[in-house]
Amino acid sequence: MRVLVTGANGLLGQKLIELLSTEPNVEVHATGRGPNRNPPGNYTYHMVDLAEEGALHNLFEQERPNAVIHTAAMTNVDACELDPKECWIQNVLVVESVVRACEHFGCFLTHVSTDFIFDGASGPYDELAAPNPINVYGKTKLAAEEAVKASRLEWAIARTILVYGVAHDPSKSNIVLWVKRSLEQGKAIQLVTDQWRMPTLAEDLALGCWLMTKKRAQGVFNISGPDLLTPYEMGRVIAETFGLDSSLISPTDGSAFTQPAKRPAKTGFILDKARMTLGFEPRRYHEGLALVKSQFDQ
């Protein structure tokens, strides 16, 4: 199988390359907008701006993938709110171009989406819950889902939540790395107690995407961690895992922060479908953090 991974320089893209490069009978092709930030390995990298449809078509023409895992997106929620035009280009128009290329070349498409398509009023959600995004990022990701669903493709959509892990690129951050770095520097931080998420280990999300692709499992799947926590609770476990000073973390609520984009209060996913159909069994949050710690200790 020839698999093309978009967004290869992102955290999920990097974990997918690591995973797929070890799979027998899988030829891995990766693409990103900038130079390759992954270590050398059993894959080929192509620097392509997916917003240039001609370049995207040429990539498909050259490599003829059987399957595409589309992870590339504009994911900074506040940046999306401040620049909705660019957000629409990256999160909707690019997806529509990928869909057209997949239709033309007969590829199976696995598309990565988000819990932010929901308003957070009644989480955790199953795959049939009605979306109601409350920010630009969520609206574009929902529009992208609709473009995939309206296609003539065999497709799968992986919805996920608050992905964390260690990337090869030290400039990439997420809640775990930010809390760890702040506490190591002795900085006092505030974390909210009025939002709930299911933090997702990047390795688990990569595996979920691969299971969907390998099995050509069509439809929407919730792919996240199993533990519903507030950011404050997450921070306390991070401090405990890394042996850092948890007294530097103080609880607050969302009103303490001025952010351009609204956040859903309580998302979270029901994972029964992914467990039963894919055999997906994500690690508990403390187990995921233990893996992250082991990667720092290497």
Tens-digit pLDDT profile for residues 81-91: 999 999 999 99
Beta-carbon-side half-sphere exposure of residue 31 (alpha carbons within 13 Å): 25
The domain limits of the chain are 2-165+200-225+268-283
64-101 confidence digits (pLDDT tens): 999 999 999 999 999 999 999 999 999 999 999 999 99
For position 65, what pLDDT does the model report? 98
Above 80 in pLDDT, residue 165?
yes
| Contact by Cβ (8 Å): 104, 60 | yes
Residue 78, pLDDT score: 97
Residue 170 has pLDDT above 80, yes or no: no
Q: What is the mean pLDDT of the segment spanning 238-242?
A: 98
The mean predicted confidence, pLDDT, of the chain is: 96
Question: What does the pLDDT average to over 271-288?
Answer: 98
Q: What pLDDT score does 172 carry?
A: 75
- Size (the chain), residues: 298
pTM over 0.75: yes
pLDDT exceeds 90 at position 256: no
pLDDT at 60: 97
Average pLDDT over residues 184-198: 97
DSSP label of 162? -
Q: Record the tokens describing residue 134, joined without a space.
A: 């409350």
Kind plus residue range of the DSSP H or E element containing 184: helix 175-184
219-229: pLDDT as tens digits: 999 999 999 99
- Determine the topology of domain 2-165+200-225+268-283 in CATH: Rossmann fold (3.40.50)
Residue 257: the pLDDT is: 86
- CA dist 148 and 70 (Å) reads 11
Q: What confidence category does residue 169 fall into, taking pLDDT thresholds of 50, 70 and 90?
A: confident
What 3-state class would DSSP assign to 24?
coil
Q: What is the mean pLDDT of residues 286-296?
A: 97
pLDDT given for residue 94 in this prediction: 98
Note the Cα 97 to chain centre separation in Å: 20
Query: Which of the four pLDDT bands, split at 50, 70 and 90, describes residue 298?
Result: confident
208 CB contacts (<8 Å, ≥6 apart)? 158, 160, 221, 223, 274, 278, 280, 282
